[in-house]
Chain A
Amino acid sequence: AQSVTQPDIHITVSEGASLELRCNYSYGATPYLFWYVQSPGQGLQLLLKYFSGDTLVQGIKGFEAEFKRSQSSFNLRKPSVHWSDAAEYFCAGNYGGATNKLIFGTGTLLAVQP
Chain B
Amino acid sequence: DTGVSQDPRHKITKRGQNVTFRCDPISEHNRLYWYRQTLGQGPEFLTYFQNEAQLEKSRLLSDRFSAERPKGSFSTLEIQRTEQGDSAMYLCASSRTQTGLNEQFFGPGTRLTVL
Contact = CB atoms under 8 A, between A and B. Distances in A.
Contacts of A106: 40-42
A98 to B, nearest CB: 7
B40 to A, nearest CB: 7
Residue with the greatest number of chain A CB neighbours at <10 A, chosen from B43, B95, B100? B43
B108 interface: yes
Interface residues of B, number: 26
Contacts of B95: 100
A109 B100 CA distance: 28
A71 interface: no
B74 interface: no
Contacts of A9: 40
Interface of A: 4, 6, 9, 32, 34, 36, 41-46, 49, 51, 90, 92, 94, 96, 98-107
Residue with the greatest number of chain B CB neighbours at <10 A, chosen from A34, A42, A100? A100
A29 B66 CA distance: 32
Interface in B19-34: 31, 33
A90 B43 contact: yes
B67 to A, nearest CB: 14
Given A43-B108, A44-B91, A102 B48 contact: no
A41 to B, nearest CB: 7
A4 to B, nearest CB: 8
5 contacts: A41-B108, A43-B108, A100-B31, A104-B42, A107-B42
Contact of B45 (A43, A51, A103, A105): A103
Contact of B55 (A43, A46, A99): A99
Contacts of B109: 43
Nearest to B107: A43
Residue with the greatest number of chain A CB neighbours at <10 A, chosen from B35, B41, B101, B104? B104
A-B pairs, top 4 by smallest CB distance, nearest first, are: A104-B42, A44-B106, A100-B102, A43-B106
A99 B34 CA distance: 12
Interface string B79-115: 0000000000001010100001111111111000000
